[in-house]
Amino acid sequence: MFPFSRGIPPREAIPAQELAAQAAAVLAEQPDDVFQYAPIGNHTGDLALREELAKLHTADPERIFVTNGSLQALDLLAAHLLRDTGPDVYVEAPTYDRAVQIFERHGARVTGIPLRHDGLDLDVLRERLAERTPAFLYVIPDFQNPSGVTTSEDKRRALVGLAEEHGFVIVEDIPYRELRFEGTAPTPLAELSPGGRVLTVGSLSKILSPGLRVGYVIAEPHTVTALAALAEGTYLSPAPLLQAVAARSLAAGLAASNIERAVRFLKPRHDAAVAAVRRHLGEDALIAVPEGGYYVSVHLPVPTDEKTFLAAAKKDGVLLTRGSAFYPGSAAPPAGTVFLRLPFQALTPEEFAAGVERLAAVTARLA
Ligand SMILES: Cc1ncc(COP(=O)(O)O)c(C=O)c1O
């Protein structure tokens, strides 16, 4: 079987033994803290953890709000941002499917703006903005899930300019940002707009451990307070034990060393995956050459509909996520193609190449 279906970190990119040692130290030294409730009343997360996260982003700890993974950050932000404004949310098409589901659960009307190899199609975005101003624009600007696209510096500046001009908020979701294999990192959107118009959603899932379930929002203090009130009304706080383990692990430099290790481990997989896609599926199918992260993706011309293609691929042992699921509403891949997200992080170069070779064979057979 060739599982191209999930973007979870490979075992080699989680420093399990080192995390276990930090957890043991927390249990030995702080049992009274971690087995008690966290304080209530605008509690925004474990202070030591917020201080460590603030260092990662050169931000003020007052501007950090800790959540149970970044999906919960998206959930609370959607509740907060959609409460007082209209239902419109603009997203990249394709985009992270779970985010769309969360926004829709909060009553959002989600519109997909086509994503090009270097970020959103700004002409289409301007057309949509001429019709309606969204409550927020959700973007994954670095090594996007699912496409692997990184938004260029120019487009980042343009997005921030449009947000100022039209008065909407940008939510930038950056779980993969640290996993860069080549090129230089463009400026984070939040740095281009220091006035609070950009809210950053971060996560330790891809740089340290998804099991810690540590996500966070970086925002103005009034937004942080509003999110804290929403959190307190539902689950009080993230688990103190996990927050303490995360704080201690960050203080011990585990994220920094693990990022280095993960990049060293993932880069050969990335290089081999891009080469295999070019060889078996063709340069034209490639949406972008990812400079980091987990995903390479294609718009693959196929002679059938998506359902038939996925069923045929599955019969040949290639498991794929339904590409159309990454397109919200009426957005869709170009006519005559299917969108395929091909996560390379969890497959060896040989497995990946054999998987895409089979995809090429399936396409040829269906023709
Ligand atoms: C773009 C994006 N946002 C959020 C998440 C969820 O991450 P977390 O584990 O922090 O909830 C993922 C996970 O794959 C993701 O790709």
Q: Is the pLDDT of residue 63 over 90?
A: yes
Q: Which atom belonging to ligand 1 lies closest to the Cα atom of 68?
A: 11
What is the residue extent of each domain of the chain?
2-12+256-366, 16-252
Mean pLDDT of 46-53: 98
Q: Is the pLDDT of residue 334 over 90?
A: yes
* Tokens coding 156: 């980042």
The CATH T-level fold of domain 16-252 is: Aspartate Aminotransferase; domain 2 (3.40.640)
At 182-203, the pLDDT tens digits run: 999 999 999 999 888 999 999 9
Q: For ligand 1, pick from 65, 205, 243 the residue to mutate: most ligand atoms within 8 Å of CB.
A: 205
* Tokens coding 302: 């196929």
Strand segments, DSSP code E, in 254-302 are: 295-301
Residue 221, pLDDT score: 95
Mean pLDDT of the chain: 96
Q: Which CATH class is domain 2-12+256-366?
A: alpha beta
- The set of protein residues with a Cβ atom below 6 angstroms from ligand 1 is 7, 69-71, 96, 140, 145, 173, 175, 203, 205, 210, 215
Distance 237 CA to ligand 1 centre (A): 19
Helix (H) or strand (E) holding 165: helix 153-166
Helix/strand number for the chain, H first, E second: 13, 12
C-alpha angle 263-264-268 in degrees, rounded to nearest 5: 100
Helix (H) or strand (E) holding 171: strand 169-173
Distance CA 337, CA 51 (A): 47
| Half-sphere CA count of 206, side-chain side, radius 13 A | 24
For CA atoms 267, 272, 275, 280, give the dihedral sign.
negative
Paired with 230 in beta bridges are none
Q: Which atom belonging to ligand 1 lies closest to the Cα atom of 206?
A: 9
Q: Is the pLDDT of residue 89 over 90?
A: yes
Distance CA 358, CA 361 (A): 5
Which residue's C-alpha comes closest to atom 7 of ligand 1? 70
Residue 81, pLDDT score: 97
Distance CA 94, CA 115 (A): 7
Q: Is the pLDDT of residue 172 over 90?
A: yes
Distance 32 CA to ligand 1 centre (A): 31
Which residue's C-alpha comes closest to atom 1 of ligand 1? 145
Paired with 136 in beta bridges are 89, 169
Residue 120, pLDDT score: 98
Q: Which atom belonging to ligand 1 lies closest to the Cα atom of 210?
A: 9
Distance 102 CA to ligand 1 centre (A): 12
Distance 257 CA to ligand 1 centre (A): 21
Residue 86, pLDDT score: 78
pLDDT band at 85 (very low <50, low <70, confident <90, very high): confident
Do 16-252 and 2-12+256-366 have the same topology in CATH?
no
15: left (phi over 0), alpha (psi -120 to 50) or beta: beta
End-to-end CA distance of the chain: 23
Residue 6, pLDDT score: 82
Distance 155 CA to ligand 1 centre (A): 23
Distance 100 CA to ligand 1 centre (A): 12
At 296-323, the pLDDT tens digits run: 999 999 999 999 999 999 999 999 999 9
Residue 229, pLDDT score: 96
Residue 1, pLDDT score: 86
Mean pLDDT of 150-162: 98
Q: Is the pLDDT of residue 276 over 90?
A: yes
> Cβ neighbours of residue 126 under 8 Å, at least 6 residues apart?
162
* Tokens coding 224: 């942080």
Distance 279 CA to ligand 1 centre (A): 30
Residue 5, pLDDT score: 83
Mean pLDDT of 165-187: 97
Residue 195, pLDDT score: 85
Q: Report yes or no: 216 and 45 within 8 Å, Cβ to Cβ.
A: yes
Distance CA 291, CA 45 (A): 33
Lowest mean pLDDT among 43-52, 63-72, 188-197, 253-262: 188-197
Residue 84, pLDDT score: 81
Q: Report yes or no: 350 and 15 within 8 Å, Cβ to Cβ.
A: no
pLDDT band at 263 (very low <50, low <70, confident <90, very high): very high
pLDDT band at 213 (very low <50, low <70, confident <90, very high): very high
At 15-41, the pLDDT tens digits run: 999 999 999 999 999 999 999 999 989
Mean pLDDT of 71-92: 95
Distance CA 303, CA 321 (A): 19
Q: Which atom belonging to ligand 1 lies closest to the Cα atom of 8?
A: 14
Q: Report yes or no: 60 and 69 within 8 Å, Cβ to Cβ.
A: no
Mean pLDDT of 256-266: 98
